[in-house]
Amino acid sequence: MEIEQRTNAGARLVPGEGAAGAATMRAAVQHRYGPPSVLAVSQVGRPEPGPGDVLVRVGAAAVHPGDYFVMTGEPFLLRLAFGLRRPRHGIPGRDLAGVVAAVGKDVTAFRVGDQVFGWSTAGSLAEYACVPADTLVSVPANLSVVDAAAVPTSALAALQALRRIANVQPGQAVLVTGASGGVGSFAVQIAQAFGAEVTGVCSTRNVDLVRSLGADHVVDYTTTDFTRTEKRYDVILDNVEAQPLAAVRRALTPTGVLIPNSGRGGRWLGPLGRIVTARVLSGVTRQHLKPFVSVEKRQDLLTLADLLTSGQVRSVIDRTYPLDEAADALRYVGAGHTRGKVVITI
């Protein structure tokens, strides 16, 4: 049934009023790949939690470039995972924060009324989302629901890149490109928390923002090319990939780590060509070129919650949009010039 395809995987529809005898909710829905105009807010079936699930009344949901790519279906390589002809799940979005509305019979970690944040595997731009309990953690007391929704995907990518992939150590020199963006704004703060000497690369209008996040040095890319300075870095997290790999490698120490992380590339294969090149080069040089894919780990989300609670990390919110303007939010994200995160309030 159409309505079942729009609900979260593994969830059942709640009996009650609405279409086909099911309770309904408002959600941003797309039936085909395409530009933001394919999104429309409509009534769809409301899910019911399975034994290990939590039904979250969504208060806010962040969107990021990955959501834009999935919505458009480009690069086409993505469709192998998300549906060849149309999106397998018609509700976009992954990150969310909200209040527990119901729990499955096997869930003991959360109770109705708890504030939580985490990931939805089948869409977060909706009034309700049914989420496995092990993909959620409690919202720190010092965070708003909007700030919490901004965290999961982008902050997790930054944490895993710097800790798991690069193994950043105190005193190391770390450079972050796209330092004012979603991943970059978190990466600057996390690298600082790890004791690194942090350089952020951004445009002129974002210099003060990146400095306020704790960057020791800020490079304005409109006036300075970091690959042509004398400075060498132990770790480069390249969230923009505007420079050729050969140029970026010049800015690395002889045994430094380069993490390409923009996700952009050609219409068909996206960043795959650059990833393959990086892997090949890494086998013939002492430098380490390490493209990666972040993995949703609850323990890492708990680590981020601790960093947020202590004030070492904070969310940077560029804009908020109501659910009815979800298409505008994704259009803005797709333009590629966000300062921090874009969040949809529901």
Task: Reply yes or no on whether the pLDDT at 41 is more than 50.
Answer: yes
The residues near 3 (Cβ < 8 Å, ≥ 6 apart) are 13, 19, 20, 22, 44, 45
- Specify whether 280 is located in the same domain as 321: no
- Specify whether 86 is located in the same domain as 171: no
* Strand, coil or helix: 257: strand
- Specify whether 147 is located in the same domain as 157: no
- Specify whether 165 is located in the same domain as 265: yes
User: Which is more confident, 76 or 200?
Assistant: 200
What is the average pLDDT across 262-278? 49
Query: Where residue 262 falls among pLDDT bands split at 50, 70, 90?
Result: low
What is the average pLDDT across 56-84? 80
Q: Which helix (H) or strand (E) holds 258?
A: strand 252-260
- Specify whether 11 is located in the same domain as 146: yes
Residue 73: the pLDDT is 76
- Specify whether 180 is located in the same domain as 259: yes
Residue 79: the pLDDT is 59
Tell whether 51 is covered by a domain: yes
Cβ atoms of 185 and 340 within 8 Å: the answer is yes
Task: Reply yes or no on whether the pLDDT at 2 is more than 60.
Answer: no
Pairing between strand 252-260 and 288-289?
parallel
In this structure, of 85-99, 178-192, 277-291, the range with the lowest mean pLDDT score is: 277-291
Tell whether 64 is covered by a domain: yes
Domain termination site, one of 252, 274, 289 = 289
- Specify whether 157 is located in the same domain as 145: no
Cβ atoms of 270 and 77 within 8 Å: the answer is yes
Residue 267's CATH number: 3.40.50.720
- Specify whether 52 is located in the same domain as 90: yes
Tell whether 303 is covered by a domain: no
Query: Where residue 306 falls among pLDDT bands split at 50, 70, 90?
Result: very high
Residue 143's CATH number: 3.90.180.10
Residue 66: the pLDDT is 87
Nearest residue to 24 via CA among 44, 10, 40: 44
Residue 11: the pLDDT is 42
Nearest residue to 237 via CA among 308, 320, 163: 163
What is the average pLDDT across 24-45? 94
Signed CA dihedral, 217, 235, 178, 188: sign only: negative
Domain termination site, one of 289, 306, 324 = 289
The maximal CA–CA distance of the chain, rounded, in angstroms, is 68
- Residue 24, domain extent: 2-151+316-345
Tell whether 187 is covered by a domain: yes
Q: Say what the pTM is.
A: 0.87
Cβ atoms of 297 and 152 within 8 Å: the answer is no
Task: Reply yes or no on whether the pLDDT at 26 is more than 60.
Answer: yes
Tell whether 332 is covered by a domain: yes
In this structure, of 65-74, 103-112, 130-139, 249-258, the range with the lowest mean pLDDT score is: 65-74
Tell whether 261 is covered by a domain: yes
Give the chain's domain count.
Answer: 2
Query: Where residue 280 falls among pLDDT bands split at 50, 70, 90?
Result: low
Residue 245: the pLDDT is 87
Where do the H-state alpha helices sit in the chain? Answer: 2-5, 65-72, 79-82, 145-149, 152-159, 182-193, 207-212, 245-250, 272-282, 298-310, 326-334
Region of 157 please: left (phi>0), alpha (psi -120 to 50) or beta.
alpha
- Specify whether 98 is located in the same domain as 182: no
Express as a percent the part of the chain with pLDDT over 70: 84
Residue 267: the pLDDT is 47
- Specify whether 146 is located in the same domain as 158: no
User: Which is more confident, 71 or 196?
Assistant: 196
Residue 278: the pLDDT is 53
Tell whether 298 is covered by a domain: no
Q: Per residue in 129-177, pLDDT tens?
A: 999 999 999 999 999 999 999 999 999 999 999 999 999 999 999 999 9
Cα–Cα distance for residue pair 319/337, rounded to 1 Å:
12
- Specify whether 72 is located in the same domain as 138: yes
Query: Where residue 17 falls among pLDDT bands split at 50, 70, 90?
Result: very low
- Specify whether 276 is located in the same domain as 176: yes
Task: Reply yes or no on whether the pLDDT at 282 is more than 80.
Answer: no
User: Which is more confident, 186 or 336?
Assistant: 186
**Mean pLDDT of all residues belonging to the chain:** 87
